[in-house]
Structure formats: C-alpha cells, structure tokens
Amino acid sequence: MQKVLGDYKSAIKHYQLSLIDEAPCTLTKQKIRFHIAHLYEVQKKYKVAKEAYEQLLKERELTLELKSVIYRQLGWMYHCVEIFGERKHRQSHAILYLQKSIEANTKSGQSLYLLGRCYAGISKVHDAFISYRNSVEKSEGNADTWCSIGVLYQQQNQPTDALQAYICAVQLDKNHRAAWTNLGILYETCGQPRDAFACYLNAIKTTGKKQHREKQDINKVLLQRIKFLDTQLTQAPMPSITSRRRQLCSIEEAWNLPISLEMSSRQQHLHSSNPHRQIGKTSAQGPPPPYPNSTPAKRSKEGNQTQFQTGNRPTQPPLFLTQQQMQMLQYLQQNQNNLNSQERILLQDLSNQYQFMQQYQQNCFQASNQESITGKNREISEQFENEVRVMSPPAYPLVAKSTNDISENKTEPSKESFPEQSDLGVSDQELQDILCQKDLTSTLTDDILKTFDGDSIDLKDADSRDSLSNKLSSVKGAFLLDNDFIKEEILKNESLYEYYSDEAAKEHSMFSIRMDSKEIMAAVKNLPLNEPPPPCSILNINAPAPAPPDCPPQRLTREQLLPPTPSVHLENKKHAFSPQLQEFCLKHPIAVVRGLAGALKLDLGLFSTKTLVEANPDHSVEVRTQVHQSPDENWDTIQAKRVWACISHRSHTTIAKYAQYQASSFQESIKEEREKGIQMSDSDSKDSLSNASLSGKRKKNKGGNKMLRFGTNVDLSDERKWRPQLAELQKLPAFARVISAANMLSHVGHVILGMNTVQLYMKVPGSRTPGHQENNNFCSININIGPGDCEWFAVPDAYWGGIQSLCDKNSISYLHGSWWPVLEDLYKENIPVYRFIQRPGDLVWVNAGCVHWVQSVGWCNNIAWNVGPLTARQYSLAIERYEWNKLQNFKSIVPMIHLSWNLARNIRVTDSKLFELIKMCLLQTLKNVMHTLEYVKSKSVVVRFHGRGKNEASHYCGQCEIEVFDVLFIREQEKRHVVHCMPCARKQAPNLQGFVCLEEYRLSELCQIYDAFTLHKPQTLPQSSPTNH
C-alpha cells in the first residue's frame, strides 16, 4: 500500500521487515527482493537497483516468470539510463536482456513491445515491426503497441497506415494522450487542420492531474496550437467542390471504418463480459468526442455535425487489403519464381500487410473470447505476473523526427512551431520515470483487485472519499476475505491496543501504581511464559487506543473562524521574567511576545547572515527548493487548482553559499523594484498606468512559477562553534531557555537535534515551513532575527483531527507528507485559524499540539527550539502522540520511556495528575522489563549486563523504529550490530537463536527508582505581614 501511495521509503522498510520475518507470507523471498530492487529503480537509484537485480538472477530457485520480469527491467534501464555507458553499448545490452526476458517467458507481450522500442531507437524498422507484431499477438489490445506502429508508419511516410494504427490505439484507450497528439500532428502535416484541431483537444482532455514538468510544457504548446488553429478555422473560407482533395479521411470517417467499428464492438464486448478486469483501465468505447462548439458552425449544419453519409465512406486503407490486393497477393504467391525485382518488392509489402491484418483479427477474436480469471484459481506465477505488470512502462512512442517542424506544413504560414515531436510523446527517459511511477497507483491497485473473485469483494463504498481511498479499502477487504493469516496480521497491526483477551484484561487488573516493585515482581512471576510479553503501552491501563479527535461540535461564525492572535508587548526585563508571562503563554494555543529582544537587550546580530558566514562559512545547510506563492494560496504544478500538497525538494549546501544566494536574491528584487518604478513614473498618464498594471500582473503570474531556495535546519548545537550565540540565549527567562531544570527536554540526557538544541533557518521571501505539529507535541519557541517579517498560520490542538482528516481526503500523509492547508477547506470544516505577522525581535510561543505553518514575507533568519513545561497537559499530549506514532509506523524522536525514568530520577513532582501519568509509565515499562527477562530466561537465552555510557543516545529497533528500553536484542546485520525489540527479534527467530540479549540497567536500580518516585507536597510560601504605608 505504501508503494501505491508513493511513499517509497516506507515501502522499502516494510518489504525489508517482511524479508527477515520467518512467518508465512503470500510472497516468496525472491519476489520481495524483486520489489525492493524495483523500488530502488523507481527512486532513480539505478546502480543499486541493477546490483539488486543481478544478485537476484543468481538465485537457483528463480521462477521463469520472475526471471523474465527482471531481465525486462534490466533491459529497459540499459535502454534509458545514461550512467550505464555509451549509447551503443547500452542498446546492445538492452536488446540482449530483453531477448533473455522473452526466452524466459515467450508470452510476455510487454518485453516484445519494449524490444520493438529498442529496435526502433536504432532504426531497425523491420525488426521493430516484427517485435510489435509479436507483441500484438501476445497482448490483448495494447494501445501503446498500435501507437508505436503508427509512429513507424509515419517515419516510413505511410500516412494512411499511420492513421489506421493511431485510430486503433485511441479506440483501445480513448485517453491515450500520445496517440491523440501524434494523430493531430499527422493531420496537420497532411493539411487537414480541422481534424488536427479535434485531436489536439482530445489530447488535452486526456491529460491527468498530476504531470511531469515536461508534460506541462507540452500542454502549453498544445494549447497555443489549439488557439492558433481555432483562429485559422474561424477565418477560413467555405469549402467548395474545387477544394484540394484530402490526403486522409476525416477523424469521424476513420473512427467509423469497418476495422474501427469492429475494434469498438470487440472492446465493448470485452468490457461487458469481464468488468472486473477493466477496473480503472479504459472507459467503455463509444463514438469519438465530437468537435467542440467553438469550431466554425458554417462547416456543417447545426445538429448534423456528427452525422455521416455512409455512401461517401472511403475505401479501406492499405492496412486491410482490398479484394483486388488480395487477388494480386494470391497471383504473386503462385508465380514467385517468375517475378522481377519490382514484383518481389510488391509481394513483400502485400505479405506484410496481410500478416498485420491477420494478427489484428486474431487479437480481436482472442480479446472477445477471453474468459474471466478469478484470483482464487490462479497459479502463483500468473499472480506474480499481475503483481509486476505495473513495472512495465506504458511506452508512449516517439514521433518521427522527419516530420518535426509543423510550421512547414501547407495549412498555415505561422512562425509558431512545436518542440521536437519526440517531446509530444513520452521519451525513453520519461518511460524510465513512468516505470511504475506515473501509473503505479491505479495499475497496481487494479492488478491486486484482479487477483480476487468479483463475488468475494464489494467494490461499492458508502464513504464518499476519493477513488484511491475506495480502491485501497476494497483491496484491504479482499485480503481480509481471502487469507486468514493475512487477516490476523492486519488486525494485529491495526489494533495494537486491542490484543487483550479476557485473561490479559485480568492480568492488567492485577497491577496499579499503588504497588511497590516487590509486589510488581510477585505479580509478574504469576504470568504465563508460554507466550511472549505483549507490546508495552505507556498510557493508562484502561485507556483506549489513541486516535485523532473529532473537532469540537459547536458551529463558529466567520469572525470566530478568524480569531485574534493572543499577543503581549514587553516593555522591560521585569515583564519578561514575570510568572504572568509564562502563564499567558501556557493558556493559549499560540502566543506572540512582541518586543522581547528589545526588553532583554538581545544581540540578534549574532544570528545575522553576515556573522554566521564570518563564524563558520562551511557549516552545512539543508536546502528546500520550493515554488514561490502568496501565503494564503497553494496551487498545483500547472497553476490550475488549489491543492494541499506542498512541493519541497531537499538538497544541501553551506552557509557561505546560501548567504551568497540570499544576498543576490535581495539585489535582484531591488533591481526589479527599480524597473517597476520607472514604468510607473508617468503617473498622470492613463495609458502608462494601465500598461504598468498589466506588466505587474504578468510578473505576478510569472512569479507564481518562480522557484526559491529555503535554508533550513542549520544545527547550532556545537558549543565550540557557536559559543557567543548560545550564551546570548541565556538571557531568556527560564521557561523559554534551551536548557533549564523546568524543561523536560533538558532531562533526556542526550542531544535531540532541533529539539533540545537550537536550529537556525535562513530565508528569502516565500520560504515555507509546511503544516505540522511539533515532534511528540512538545512546545516550541521561534524568534525572528530579521530584517524581514514572517507570516504565521495556526490551529488549536483540539482541531488537529479535522486537519488530519482533510490530509487523508487530499491523499497526503499527515505525519510523513508535506502539506499547506487551503484556508477555505478549513473554514468549511468549522476549523478556526490564527493568522499573524512575526516581526524582527518577536518571540512566537507554540503551545503543545498546536498545528501551524509559516511563510517568510521578507529576507530573514529565524532561530527555534522545543521546550517541555513540567505540566500534566504537556506530558499527556506527548505520550498520546508517542503511542499514536507507533500505530502510524512513525518514529518518535523523543524517547518518552527513557525520558520518564530520567524525570523520576531528577525531579520532585508536586502535581498529582503529572505524578500519576509518569508513575503509570514507570509501572508499565518496569512490568514489561520484568516479564521480558523472565521470558528470555525461559528460552535459555543468557542476559548480559551492558550498562549505558555518558550521553549515550536512546535505542530504537532497527526494524520498526520503536524505542527499546533496557532489554536489547542485538544481531549483526550487514557488518554492524543492530538493536531489535522483542517482537521483531522473534519474527526472525521465534526462540531468539542468534540474538545477544543485553541489559542497560540493573533491575534493582529500576526498582529503586520506581519506589523512590513519590508525590511531594507543594511548598507554600510564607505569608508576609502587611505593611503600613
């Protein structure tokens, strides 16, 4: 599912987990390894993918189907990827691998098709035709193949045959953008602009929402072409009898030729006879989309635009032999020995066309009679072929470069021209990108659906969410119905907190925070050891599984949806250190403390770009490349629709290099402002005003597509490098300092970058920090260094469940994804939004759980870190998110168990609610440690004491990334020792063979800490006697 959703990092992680899991699995280890290799390929890690494929080919137990697919992937990578050597060398290897793929599986139509693409790429036209012909035989109605055949015909200057092949392609797949585009080019080249106009319109209509940048550029060219042709057609004279005879039949006539009608009826029969196989592939065939109303009405009477005169139907094109051609072929075959050279060439041409005709008829016959195959009766090899069919590229062909320049055609003298026509289809490199990326979501989901009987899965979904969610829920339902083992595993993963049986519930009722460590040990010894300890939750024993909360039910007015932001202005140091300031911050979801730097006389110049460059010019900076947009807008890549997905690509540079970019960006902006001022200088002229406003509008639109670079996550934790900067922050009041006894995160005992250390952000206008809650819902502090401002958006934590739901509706992961909320969507869902400007010297306090997103208005730097007030609310929100992260397979970078034990060591708690929460965490983890040690000993595994080093980081499972406390299971993997939790260790070895068990703390030490952690009475201040004034 993660692969379907495009989260390739998580997908690899889960495949690797299943690879080391010894439990039964629906996929073989070889298939899992294939999927891992393929994910590397999808992420453009071609060398790693190639090595993984080659290692897999060395396996002896490899099935022929899997071997065929691996050779196919290797072949197409060699064809497309330049890092594998010179083109001649790559092409020979590509052809060799594809031939091996076909040898392993002679029924692989995809491999045959790709082999044809390779032959076409090196101008072996005859071999390409043969490969395409064989592909048509193997593959039922492949639109890509017919489109490529059309390209070859066009290259050979056979426009009629090219037309027929393109028509076959678009009737097999009405949404085949490349075929429609190439057909339009063909018509325009042959001087038939009206037909070209209709084809270009269809090409635009079939373009999906998510596109590569190259496709966006092509669409712009097509739109320009459509506009030009529309103008030409409107101004063109009425056709007359003396008009030049058309070279090709019109699009309507071509669609209704006998071969096309047969194709249409065959496809409709295929859809109706096997609806489940066609989910998400192509829509039912029908007549071609009619010409739009914008075409000149004078060309045909209103209401008769799509009617055809059957008496004027043209003869069949050469792809289907006429009766005279059939007779000629028979005559030439009977007299082969007496033919001259010209007659032999004619015989060869007619024979080739006759073979294509036979193949096409046979393909249509096979398609109409193919039986529906259900998943339960499928062989494993056929199931795998469905699983990996998505890896085959939907190879949109290149159009011949011999017809590159449309501006040379006879229909119009325009200076506008297309880019090279190779850009109008999908190039080989784009095919490599598309290889299980562009069509991954729908195709893989459809193939999974195909493996199940239509009666065993209900595709109707009562929820009105997007189609992908419906498909995924349907797939999930299918798996649950089909396989009891998978059903159990899914239930375990989804309901980590619902594993308790009646006996387990009794077990939990045996424990309470009123017990001391000896009583806990006695109770643990009574627990059965035939099963391992259950997963440890640090929430209250009777607490439900954590889940996103419903939004508060009360309806808000428009004014309430835009609440004023809590803010306070500090006049002096006394105000900054007053307890009322901390109370003010803790009372609101977000607060702005204005004038803080001035009141405390902070030297913000220490964090300026100039000072940073002088101090450490080569220090690393993470860079996010983003699209420049206004703060309350977020458009898709073609500027057509407001979306939630926030584009942000990661790279790295140095402080010095980013400073240079930041400065040049500022100077460029000043230059643009000067130019704008010159245009606006003649303020008394009406014409100059209108021209200037139009110019400004154009720049704004252009600026919407402008890319910017945001310098983020600059680590300032090293005291040797940043001593003056860190010392300056000691001027802050205790509740806001990076290190303070009243800050939970100061008790972690080791560095968590960006949380209990300072991070710096270097910005140009438009730099965005996408929507998020802080890690484990801790509070955060952000100070604007200046000189520019930042604009903030924030939502109270009570509404985070509503935002999480909107992320799901927009197919974005709340935790993993990069998102920028559409404000109107929030208002419709009754979610209020704080919106305010942070000026230089202002401190923004983000309270626990507050959802927020930020955009810079000018050029500025910011510094930020997290704090954890010692309150029950802060601790409660932190552990709830800690447990919810487990369910979401998201790593909690704050080790809450380790932190809780350190808090029990270091602080005296007077708040009863906070005490109970921490004590419950200690109880749950101590019980789990005791139970685990007893279980391990029962398996005759030796537990060795390891201890902990000073400032040693907390440990996480190398497989599932859950925090592992005290009892570590160590195993060597890839020449390094990897920590495992108990469940992951048992997946690899049920009896823990091959694992070393280490203990970080003596059990007696933990018992002592647990018993010593008690609730203290708050200290009361002595009342001062009243004084007389």
Considering only residues 841 and 511, tell me which one the structure prediction assigns the higher pLDDT. 841
* 594 found inside a domain: yes
- Could you tell me if 510 and 488 lie in one domain? no
Q: What is the DSSP string of 866-925?
A: EE-BS-HHHHHHHHHHHHHHHHTT---SS-HHHHHHHHHHH-----HHHHHHHHHHHHHH
CATH number assigned to the domain comprising residue 599: 2.60.120.650
Evaluate whether 922 touches 884 at the Cβ level (below 8 Å).
Answer: no
Instruction: Report the domain count for the chain.
Output: 3
Evaluate whether 252 touches 288 at the Cβ level (below 8 Å).
Answer: yes
Tell me the pLDDT band of 501, cut-offs 50, 70 and 90.
very low
By percentage, how much of the chain surpasses pLDDT 70? Answer: 71
Pick from 878, 872, 863: which is nearest to 774 by CA? 878
Considering only residues 258 and 11, tell me which one the structure prediction assigns the higher pLDDT. 11
User: Rounded to 5 degrees, what angle do the CA atoms 307, 308, 314 make?
Assistant: 160
Considering only residues 976 and 492, tell me which one the structure prediction assigns the higher pLDDT. 976
- Could you tell me if 863 and 762 lie in one domain? yes
Considering only residues 349 and 572, tell me which one the structure prediction assigns the higher pLDDT. 572
Cβ neighbourhood burial of 663 (10 Å; 0-12, 13-18, 19+):
middle
- Could you tell me if 909 and 864 lie in one domain? no
Report pLDDT for 395: 35
CA end-to-end distance (rounded Å), the chain: 76
Whole-model pTM: value is: 0.62
What are 296-337's pLDDT values in tens digits?
Answer: 333 333 333 333 333 333 334 444 565 566 667 777 777 777
Structural tokens at position 537: 């939750």
- Could you tell me if 988 and 856 lie in one domain? no
Segment 962-989 shows an average pLDDT of 91
Q: In the predicted model, is pLDDT for residue 372 greater than 50? A: no
Q: In the predicted model, is pLDDT for residue 435 greater than 90? A: no
- Could you tell me if 770 and 857 lie in one domain? yes
Considering only residues 718 and 277, tell me which one the structure prediction assigns the higher pLDDT. 718
Segment 958-970 shows an average pLDDT of 95
Q: What is the DSSP string of 538-560?
A: -S-TTPPPP-PPPPPSS---TTT
* 160 found inside a domain: no
- Could you tell me if 594 and 647 lie in one domain? yes
Q: In the predicted model, is pLDDT for residue 291 greater than 50? A: no
Long-range contacts of range 933-940, CB-CB < 8 Å, 24 or more positions apart? 933/967, 933/999, 933/1003, 934/524, 934/525, 934/527, 934/529, 935/529, 935/532, 935/533, 935/982, 936/967, 936/992, 936/997, 938/529, 939/991, 939/992
- Could you tell me if 776 and 860 lie in one domain? yes
- Could you tell me if 762 and 848 lie in one domain? yes
- Could you tell me if 957 and 1004 lie in one domain? yes
Segment 357-378 shows an average pLDDT of 43
Q: In the predicted model, is pLDDT for residue 43 greater than 70? A: yes
In the block, tokens 């972690």 appear at 748
- Could you tell me if 870 and 975 lie in one domain? no
Mean predicted lDDT score pLDDT of the chain: 77
* 183 found inside a domain: no
**DSSP, res 1026:** P
- Could you tell me if 461 and 511 lie in one domain? no
Report pLDDT for 244: 59
Evaluate whether 839 touches 857 at the Cβ level (below 8 Å).
Answer: no
Tell me the pLDDT band of 494, cut-offs 50, 70 and 90.
very low
Report pLDDT for 495: 35
Tell me the pLDDT band of 378, cut-offs 50, 70 and 90.
very low
Lowest mean pLDDT of 197-211, 302-316, 781-795, name the range.
Answer: 302-316
Tell me the pLDDT band of 783, cut-offs 50, 70 and 90.
very high
* 444 found inside a domain: no
* 936 found inside a domain: yes
* 649 found inside a domain: yes
Report pLDDT for 369: 41
Q: In the predicted model, is pLDDT for residue 789 greater than 80? A: yes
What are 874-932's pLDDT values in tens digits?
Answer: 999 999 999 999 999 999 999 999 999 999 999 999 999 999 999 999 999 999 999 99
What are 636-682's pLDDT values in tens digits?
Answer: 888 888 999 998 899 999 999 999 999 999 998 888 878 776 665 54
Structural domain for 476, as ranges: 453-494
Report pLDDT for 625: 96
Tell me the pLDDT band of 456, cut-offs 50, 70 and 90.
very low
Q: Which of 7-11, 321-325, 396-400 has the highest mean pLDDT?
A: 7-11
* 96 found inside a domain: no
3-state secondary structure of 779: strand
What are 126-160's pLDDT values in tens digits?
Answer: 888 888 888 888 765 688 888 999 998 888 888 88
* 605 found inside a domain: yes
- Could you tell me if 807 and 854 lie in one domain? yes
Evaluate whether 762 touches 662 at the Cβ level (below 8 Å).
Answer: yes
